Amino acid sequence: MHKKLLVTSIFIILAIYFVAGQKRAANLSKEFMNLIGCWQGTLNYSGTIIRKPYSTNAEVIVKRVGKSHRKFEFLHIYTKDPKDNAADTITISKDGRKLNYAMIKSKRYTAEGDLEVITEALGFDHDNNKAAIVKQTYTLGKGSYSYKKQVQLEGQADWLDRLEFKYTSRPCKSNR
């Protein structure tokens, strides 16, 4: 009798965990679906030991990858530096706990109603040639989107800004 109760309890707990994970992923996917379209703004790169700080105009086109609700392609267009144009992908884990394999440390709504998602992962800071924790902050608003990357060098307490994209929504041009 006790074994049966224990097995049933474990099954119920696992089922709740699975459903909660699916709901987390679905909610985050819905927020990222709102980014699909064209965005215009700036890239601000903070100075480092080997690079000077700079700012440039930037655009990004966000698309869903295939029929996936968890994978999004970001096509970065630098109007002043087209040779630097790049593409990257953001993938939401099945359980909604990670973005691009980085653990979500915080997910909250700001006073303005924007969703702020912060991830952290062990990584490497090439500017200082040291191991670091890489923190990425995604802020998704109704007509705005920003992404900020910071690093915390091994053995240090301070976070160093690396780059920040700030965008506002704009209509897409038909040739893209």
pLDDT tens per residue across span 39-98:
999 999 886 766 788 899 999 999 999 999 999 999 999 988 889 899 999 999 999 999
Tokens read off for 94:
């099945």
Residue 54, pLDDT score: 86
The answer on pLDDT for 33 being more than 80 is yes
The answer on pLDDT for 18 being more than 70 is no
Output b/e per residue, 23-60; b: 16+ Cβ within 10 A: ebbeebbebbeebeebbbbebbbbebeeeeeeeeebbb
Domain locations in the chain as residue ranges: 2-170
Domain spanning 2-170: which superfamily?
Calycin beta-barrel core domain (2.40.128.20)
Tokens read off for 60:
């990004």
Point out the least confidently predicted range of 21-25, 122-126, 141-145, 149-153.
21-25
The answer on pLDDT for 16 being more than 80 is no
pLDDT tens per residue across span 108-146:
999 999 999 999 999 999 888 899 999 999 999 999 999
State what percent of residues in the chain have pLDDT above 70. 82
Q: Which residues pair with 67 in a beta bridge?
A: none
More confident residue, 17 or 3: 3
Residue type, 146: S
Residue 109, pLDDT score: 94
Residue 3, pLDDT score: 58
Work out the number of other CB atoms within 10 angstroms of the CB of residue 14: 10
- The pTM of the full predicted model, rounded to 2 decimals, is 0.82
The answer on pLDDT for 15 being more than 50 is no
More confident residue, 151 or 14: 151
The answer on pLDDT for 106 being more than 50 is yes
Residue 116, pLDDT score: 97
